[in-house]
């Protein structure tokens, strides 16, 4: 089961997040999401636990618990919604024709 963990302290890292969840069962992966440019935590992360029962126990036990000085929010991860198509932007060259041609 994929688990969303929110309201993480900036000091929380992948290893600390994994260690907290391993108290409740096996953890396949744990990652804190970081900003690409600064490398600083975005304040949330994801944990993957192969056993759904253990994952639910971790969710129930850790939701609202303090981790590194902050009460974390823990729940089952929701699938990412599909991105909307922005459409073809190749019509930029046609705008001149609609305005009546070149301004010179």
pLDDT, tens digit (0-9, with 9 covering 90-100), for 50-60: 999 999 999 99
Beginning with the edge strand found earlier in the chain, give each strand of the sheet holding 41-48 in spatial order.
29-34, 41-48, 2-6, 73-76
pLDDT at 91: 52
If one counts the domains in the chain, the total is 1
Reading the block at residue 35, the tokens are 């900003």
Treating both helix axes as pointing N-terminal to C-terminal, what angle do 52-62 and 14-22 enclose, rounded to 10 degrees? 110
Domain that holds residue 37: 2-74
Any domain includes 7: yes
Distance CA 3, CA 98 (A): 52
For 58-78, the pLDDT digits (tens) are 999 999 999 999 999 999 998
91 inside domain: no
Whether 66 maps to a domain, the answer reads: yes
Q: Is 81 part of a structural domain of the chain?
A: no
Q: Look at residue 61 and tell me if it is in a domain.
A: yes
pLDDT tens digit sequence for 25-46? 999 999 999 999 999 999 999 9
Residue 16 lies in a domain: yes
Q: Which CATH number covers residue 60?
A: 3.30.70.330
């Amino acid at each position: 089961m994929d688990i969303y963990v929110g309201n993480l302290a900036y000091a929380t890292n992948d290893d600390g997040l994994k260690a907290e969840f391993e108290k409740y069962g096996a953890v396949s992966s744990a990652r804190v999401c970081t900003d690409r440019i600064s490398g600083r935590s975005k304040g949330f992360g994801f944990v993957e636990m192969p056993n759904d029962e253990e994952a639910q126990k971790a969710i129930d036990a850790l939701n609202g618990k303090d981790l590194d000085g902050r009460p974390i929010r823990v729940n089952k991860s929701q699938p990412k919604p599909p991105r909307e198509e922005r459409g073809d932007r190749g019509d930029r060259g046609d705008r001149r024709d609609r305005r009546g041609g070149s301004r010179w």
